[in-house]
Amino acid sequence: MTVEILSARIATDVERAAEILLSGGLIAVPTETVYGLGADASNGAAVRRVFDVKGRPTNHPLILHVADREAAKNASTDWSPAADILAGLFWPGPLSILTEKAGAVDDVVTGGRGTVVVRVPDHPATLEVLRILHSRGSIGLAAPSANKFGAVSPTSARHVVDDLGNSIDAVLDGDDCRVGVESTIVDCRTDVPVILREGGVPFEAITDALARHGMTITKSPDLVGINDSAGALAPGMLESHYAPRARVEIFADVGELERRESEVEASGMSVARLPHPDNLVEYSRNLYRWLRACDAQGVDVILAVLPPATELGAAIRDRLSKAAATR
């Protein structure tokens, strides 16, 4: 199969992307976080192909992408006040909401769970694709990140073609992703929502926003430390995840990194230092691109300095920790 490259800037290409999806095809779509591998969520056979192409276990649920809050409510039987407030504040944007699943959402999307994670992505072309899907009766786009299971997420159309080019129908090229790490996942079923995965909307931003509504938020205990087990609430968060081919080693500061760098060099292995800009937006936007560049250069070991655990630093630390986890 030759992958078709469509441009997010050309209206007829965006319409064609929607048509391919509506006829059961798989398309990689741009979002502000990472590229997603999308299938029409109302087409169970198409969604099953997503798991095949990614090599992802079928009990690992997919995020349901929708055009707006109303469409999200259609996927839920219990849209809570917290869900409504967070959707109003952060959508379209890098926040995903876990809610009770409506019957219209196929079990294949949620891995048989009674819950569904929904999100409105912030990319104009993908939002247009979603509006077309809804207008034709689809509940939305089921889309995990467009990479092989466990590997580094793609933040450009080129990354998708490199990884999955032979096994999907098309890529909608919508330029490089602005955020660069995946969405924050929040369980909104309880009065105090729980963060299940750190991501593009920082804990601090959610805390501040909810405080204005007299509400609070907590982090899942699974987020403490780096060893999210297969039994964790968000079951995609296994030990080794978001991992390049090269071994990744993480350090608290540059001094520690430099000592290790000399050792690795002395052992004859090729080593690369990941940049670690103070600007956390810059760090997150480029993190996956840098990891991929190291693999492209055939580096054996990647050394990275962890950012502080505040703001976007929390998500960056999480991804680097999982990239560095034992395989």
Token look-up 């760098």 returns 261
* Residue 142 lies near ligand TXA (rule: CB under 6 A): no
285 contact partners, CB below 8 Å, separation of at least 6? 155, 176, 177, 178, 179, 180
Binder of ligand TXA out of 25, 30, 36, 193 (CB under 6 A):
36
CB of 66 to Mg ion, least distance (A): 19
CB of 146 to Mg ion, least distance (A): 9
Name the residue among 224, 226, 219, 228 with its Cα closest to residue 196: 219
* Residue 185 lies near ligand TXA (rule: CB under 6 A): yes
Binder of Mg ion out of 145, 183, 184, 284 (CB under 5 A):
145
95 contact partners, CB below 8 Å, separation of at least 6? 86, 87, 119, 183, 184, 186, 199, 200, 201, 206
- Site pattern 94..133 for Mg ion (x: CB under 5 A): ----------------------------------------
Is 83 in contact with 99 (CB distance < 8 Å)?
Answer: yes
Tell me the residue number closest to ligand TXA, measured at CB.
236
CB of 154 to ligand TXA, least distance (A): 9
* Residue 143 lies near ligand TXA (rule: CB under 6 A): yes
Instruction: Enumerate the β-bridge partners of residue 59.
Output: none
Applying CB under 6 A, which part among 59-67, 159-167, 221-229, 317-325 lies near ligand TXA? Answer: 59-67
C-alpha atoms less than 13 angstroms from C-alpha of 255 in its C-beta half-sphere: 0
Count the neighbouring beta carbons within 10 Å of the beta carbon of residue 193. Answer: 23
The backbone torsions φ and ψ at residue 159, rounded to the nearest 5 degrees and listed phi first, read -55, -40
* Residue 220 lies near ligand TXA (rule: CB under 6 A): no
> How long, in residues, is the chain?
327
CB of 110 to ligand TXA, least distance (A): 5
42 binds, among ligand TXA, Mg ion, none (CB under 5 to 8 A by kind): none
Q: Which residues bind ligand TXA (CB under 6 A)?
A: 31, 33-34, 36, 60-63, 94, 96, 98, 110, 113, 115-117, 119, 121, 143-145, 182-183, 185, 233-237
